[in-house]
Amino acid sequence: MDRRSFWRAIGHCLAALGILTAARKVWAENSASNSADRDAWSGNSSNSSIPSTDPEPKSSSAERTASPSVPRLREGTALEAVTGTLRPAGERYVFFSEDARYRLVVLENLALERLLRVQNTYAGNVFWKVWGTVTEFRGQNYLLLKRSLFDRVEAASPSALP
């Protein structure tokens, strides 16, 4: 091996080392970010600017206990005519079933856009019957809306008013 080939090989090794170091740094940053996202959605975060997706208990605040855990559903589970409400959670919306069995982040699509257009015309809690498919990503369930049907409106509770 001549001197020129030797230094070229050294250069390639140093370039590869630089790329691996940069990739490791990006991976570490993404892991920290994903961990923060998981904590925020599971309610483990101390950051109060991200709203909790836990259903509100019907009891008074003095009687509130830890919210019951909502079981994770399998990918492809069909929801049919499940009644519940939609609430904003940051930039997304979360579907809370009336019987507290489901708490699902709703995937953005045209069905959600139409539902929100109608919901924004009412002042109270709007209840919907929804049909859709459950998806799963990184241990979190999501709802892909297929159809929604207006059910009823209930007046907002006094504690929920500003």
Per-residue pLDDT for 68 more than 80? no
- In the chain, where are the structural domains located? 1-45, 74-156
Tokens found for residue 156: 């907002």
pLDDT band with cut points at 50, 70 and 90 for residue 111: very high
Where residue 138 falls (left for φ over 0; alpha for ψ -120 to 50; beta otherwise) is left
Homologous superfamily in CATH for domain 74-156: Nucleic acid-binding proteins (2.40.50.140)
Three-state DSSP state, 125: strand
CB count, 10 Å around CB of 84?
23
What is the 3-state composition of the chain as percent helix, strand, coil, each rounded to the nearest 5?
A: 35, 30, 35
Q: Is the pLDDT of residue 82 over 80?
A: yes
- Whether the per-residue pLDDT at 8 is higher than 80: the answer is yes
- Least confident segment among 51-60, 89-98, 104-113, 133-142: 51-60
- Could you tell me if 122 and 94 are in contact, meaning their C-beta atoms sit under 8 angstroms apart? no
Residue 35: predicted pLDDT: 54
In the block, residue with structure tokens 């924004």: 120
State if pTM tops 0.75: no
- Residue 62 pLDDT greater than 60, yes or no: no
